[in-house]
Amino acid sequence: EMKVSTVSVVTLGHCSSVGIIVCAQDKRVTNGAFLFGELNIDYPEKDFIVDGKASLQDQFAHDDKSQAWTMGLAPQSYIINISVPVFVVNSANSHISDVTEVSKYLYRLNDQSRLLIVPDTLDCLDSRYIKSVIAWCKGTNAPKDYDLSYYVEEGNYFVKLRTSAYPQDVAVWYCTN
């Protein structure tokens, strides 16, 4: 029998929904990393609508399937049950998931979890970030080593960041509207 200190679940792309369910249900898992995947998936749209119309019976059947799917297979139904630290890596320009939605669902994860949004890429992990994912999977969880605040002065927005990181290793990305 082998003694194992960490059991990591690492997913890539569309497999994140399975990883979320495993992290929530399997107590042997010690940490997870979801790379470039969705944290929420909606049930497919109604494909039975013809000429903008659907029968009431078809609508009820669809709603029943949608509710059953959401309770049983939708990753967003399991996120809140994840007790292990999770490292979520996503690209700002992802074609798989909306970075805004990923950010919203991150708040359902525990406080030890972290989000990395990789700029200027399409669902591809740059070599400088691979070491972080490997360290995470080995149980080295990233401390929240920053304090971010903002203020408005004379109509201008200012951001203040305090961290122990070197300035050349820090980037602050923002969006408006």
pLDDT at 87: 92
Backbone angles phi, psi at 137, to 5 degrees: -65, -25
pLDDT of 4 > 70? The answer is yes
Give tens-digit pLDDT for 104-145: 888 888 888 888 888 777 777 777 778 888 888 888 766 667
CA distance 37 to 94: 9
Average pLDDT over residues 73-91: 90
Note the pTM of the prediction, 2 decimals: 0.74
Tell me: the pLDDT tens digits for 27-43? 999 999 999 888 888 87
